[in-house]
Structure 1
């Protein structure tokens, strides 16, 4: 029965037709790795490099250019990390920790003749482990319980809503009413008013007395609505009727 690693599909991330391999001296504990310490003009092996991925693990494989036979490989579980390290004096060289089927490991140096190849190699590993990080975050979110409160947007039993569609927002401007309940029209331009309708006869040709006031107007409304007989003196009637004053003005 195949294990999970063997059953997963192997994707090819990057292929470079030529890479140089160097034996490197043992590293000093607190010293940066320098490619200048290697014999750069005399590589120990030259072949093809393929970078593949199976699941979350990436593999740097060094293969023969013609036969494709595997020379060495380095399983990479994180990047940057101890499996693939950069050197301090060049962007074209790396330190690679190779590992065989028995678990034995060794450190070798690899280098590219073109900076574009080393850039592609670096980006291929970065993109793969960026994807691994995103996958881990998605799994954590799926496993974590959702503690955020959820909004209940459903209708309760018997609950209704009212929609006001197309209704005018203008205020209803009603005409002002007098305190006595009589609707009075606004005065026409020029300050001239027409006399209101009256149930009793009014002599429009009679000139009002100079003592007409608002009080006489209110008294006139009271007398017009009462059942008492109209005064016989037309002069008295004209002086107590304020509307006659407006009539006399309109006749000028």
Structure 2
């Protein structure tokens, strides 16, 4: 049996309509900008399926009615084959590799930002051999017995406590009760 035929395909993402654009050569190392393309003149429109096949992922651009493959991007690590553009959350650049190692860079765009966001989250393959990192233990910010803290609020003066003799003095302060008696002693 063919090993590839036995691999299980899981659909990670499906977009019923994406547009593919011709991308001009990159002018800087910073990245691509969708503003440099003519986003009104796409070269192809169709369906995008993102599949997890064994240890790799495949982005398949297909005709929505016939299923005919327009282009496919296969990767294990997506960062080199899928690159978001710098100036929009709806557009990406895909590195498509053909037979003989030939590479082509094409733009891909979504009509809705929500679909683009879902795509960005879906095209990272899961790797069952990589254990999940444990979460850091929560920090304890509670005050321990005897600990105090002081908050200084800019623009506000600290109020001085009123005298213990009541508010009848000439200080004009707020009325304050005398401190409670020590434990075991009654008033």
Q: How high is the TM-score relative to the length of structure 1?
A: 0.49
Q: Secondary structure at the match of 1:136?
A: coil
Equivalent in the alignment of 1:27: 26
Deviation for aligned residue 1:78: 1.1
Equivalent in the alignment of 2:103: 105
Which digits, 9 at most, give the CA deviation of each residue in 1:139-189, with x for residues without a partner? Answer: xxxxxxxxxxxxxxxxxxxxxxxxxxxxxxxxxxxxxxxxxxxxxxxxxxx
Q: How does 1:145-160 map to 2 (within 5 A)?
A: none
**Between Structure 1 and Structure 2, which shows a larger proportion of strand residues?**
2
Q: Which runs of 4+ in 1 moved over 6 A?
A: none
Q: How does 1:59-138 map to 2 (within 5 A)?
A: 59-79=58-78, 81-126=79-124, 128=125, 131-132=126-127, 134-137=128-131
Once residues 18 and 118 of structure 2 are traced to their aligned partners in structure 1, the CA distance between those partners, rounded to angstroms, is 13
Which stretches in structure 2 are left out of the alignment for 5+ residues? 133-187
**Between Structure 1 and Structure 2, which shows a larger proportion of helix residues?**
1
Q: How does 1:1-252 map to 2 (within 5 A)?
A: 1-3=1-3, 5-79=4-78, 81-126=79-124, 128=125, 131-132=126-127, 134-137=128-131
Larger radius of gyration: 1
CA contact (8 A) 1:72 1:99 kept: no
CA RMSD of aligned residues (A): 1.7
CA contact (8 A) 1:72 1:100 kept: no
Which digits, 9 at most, give the CA deviation of each residue in 1:25-74, with x for residues without a partner? Answer: 11134243100000001111111110001111100000012111000000
Q: How high is the TM-score relative to the length of structure 2?
A: 0.65
Deviation for aligned residue 1:101: 4.5
Once residues 30 and 69 of structure 1 are traced to their aligned partners in structure 2, the CA distance between those partners, rounded to angstroms, is 34
Which digits, 9 at most, give the CA deviation of each residue in 1:100-121, with x for residues without a partner? Answer: 3544321100000101110111
How many residue pairs get aligned? The number is 132
Once residues 34 and 62 of structure 2 are traced to their aligned partners in structure 1, the CA distance between those partners, rounded to angstroms, is 22
Which stretches in structure 1 are left out of the alignment for 5+ residues? 139-252
